[in-house]
Amino acid sequence: MINIFIYILFAYGLSNLLVFGMGPYDLLDWIRNTAKKVFGKLGNMLDCMMCTSFNIAWVASLLNLLLIPTLPMTPMLILYSTILPWYVIIFCDACITSGAVWLINTLQEALERVNTYEQGNE
């Protein structure tokens, strides 16, 4: 179970970096703006924690299945690697990761609002 927790934290950190981070020399900001110009509405996926984490998850799951199948690192591979077909594993990994990252992000935003409210009342 600790592996799943570490994986979710990895996905959250990477999603947070891609969605909100500027990067050195504003590189990540440039990538987001370029994606919006090139892909239109599809480029907006780098502005959404849920969309970004979904894409991170399916890529991570696919890479895990193809490159290191003997070392499961994603939730569905850890729990059901020998039972379910690969396409179900990839889709479920993406859904689990997206939901968990969205939940962590929602909790973080709620805590930030509470903190801002408390600072305003002092």
Distances (CA, A) of 109 to 21, 99, 100, 104, 118: 16, 15, 14, 9, 14
Residue 14 tokens read as 């990477």
pLDDT in tens, 48-104: 999 999 999 999 999 999 999 889 999 999 998 778 999 999 999 999 999 999 999
Instruction: Give the model confidence (pLDDT) of 9-46 as tens digits.
Output: 999 999 999 999 988 889 999 998 999 999 988 888 88
Dig out the tokens for 104 from the structure.
Answer: 């962590």
Q: How many beta carbons lie within 10 A of that of residue 2, not counting itself?
A: 6
